[in-house]
Amino acid sequence: MIKILYFAGLRESIGSSGEEIALPPGVSDIARLRAHLAARGEPWGSLATARNLRTAVNQRMVDEGAAVQDGDEIAFFPPVTGG
Amino acid sequence: MPVDIPGPASSVSVQHEPFDVGAEIAAIAAGRPAIGAVASFVGLVRELPGCPGGLSAMTLEHYPGMTDKALEDIVGQARGRWQLQDVRVIHRVGRLAPGDAIVLVVVAAAHRGEAFAACEFIMDYLKTRAPFWKKEETRDGGHWVDARDADDAAAARWDV
């Protein structure tokens, strides 16, 4: 299983703060995972259309080529605006 | 819900409660004669000059679990670049009103050069790397604050 988290505006547009799913076959990196999640249709369409979406794997920011493994915690979120 | 458990090992806090700038600076400097300079930065919730409804409040969301790690990583990078005596970072979350303090960075060093530079570095990196998001509430409703290109540019000039 992998744990997926959504934050801020992305969380609101999806209508969920996260989900747990089995690691889909053939999904080995962030870009493929994002495409897989978005391909399920609404309400996950914004995963495909959101600009500058950021990703963290196990609470570290990564780029789209980062590997995804069973047991990972993966977070998708808009660019940060703290401070 | 505060996610930070205050303790001597951590110089980073994420909390709902307000902070006392004077008390934080005093706590860092007390009994440490090697400290010759303390630089601090306080970020406040700002009124929106162009917003007809005015800003009534701001809510700060964060990613519990990652937030502390990200802040500690930023502090660690600052400590690797400059000779620092101590660093304290406090970031508030939850609902804040205009004029409320959002963030505090305190850097103590032997001399002001390191203290000023590290304080600015930490703020620049926090703005682009720490998982916080601001939602503004106005008379017209709520909207998420967009990230600013200027913040990316400010972080990029440190070339990490």
Q: How many CA atoms lie within 13 A of B27 on its CB side?
A: 12
Please tell me the total count of domains within chain B.
1
Tokens encoding B25: 């600076």
Contacts of A61 in chain B (CB under 8 A): 70, 129
Structural domain includes residue B2: no
Residues 35-74 of A with CB under 8 A from B: 52, 56, 59-61
List chain A domain ranges. Answer: 2-77
Contacts of A7 in chain B (CB under 8 A): 61, 63, 131, 133
Q: Is residue B3 part of a domain?
A: no
CATH class of segment(s) A2-77: alpha beta
Domain of residue B150: give its range: 12-156
B69, B123, B129 ranked by CB distance to A80: nearest: B129
Q: What is the pLDDT of residues B85-120, one digit of tens each?
A: 999 999 999 999 999 999 999 999 999 999 999 999
What are B30-70's pLDDT values in tens digits? 999 999 999 999 999 987 766 655 778 999 999 999 999 99
Instruction: Round to whole Å and give the CA distance between B146 and A4.
Output: 23
Q: Cis (ω within 30 of 0) for the bond into A43?
A: yes
Q: What is the pLDDT, as a whole number, of residue B49?
A: 66
Give chain B's contact residues with A (Cβ, < 8 Å): 43, 60-63, 65-66, 69-70, 91, 102-103, 123, 126-135, 144-147
Give this complex's ipTM: 0.94
Which residues does residue A73 pair with via DSSP β-bridges, in sequence order? A3
pLDDT tens for A16-69 read: 999 999 999 999 999 999 999 999 999 999 999 888 999 999 999 999 999 999
Is B34 inside a domain boundary? yes
In the numeric block, which tokens belong to residue A54?
């950021």
For position B37, which CATH number holds? Answer: 3.90.1170.40
CA atoms within 13 A on the CB side of A67: 3
Q: Are B134 and B60 in contact (CB under 8 A)?
A: yes
pLDDT for residue B9: 38
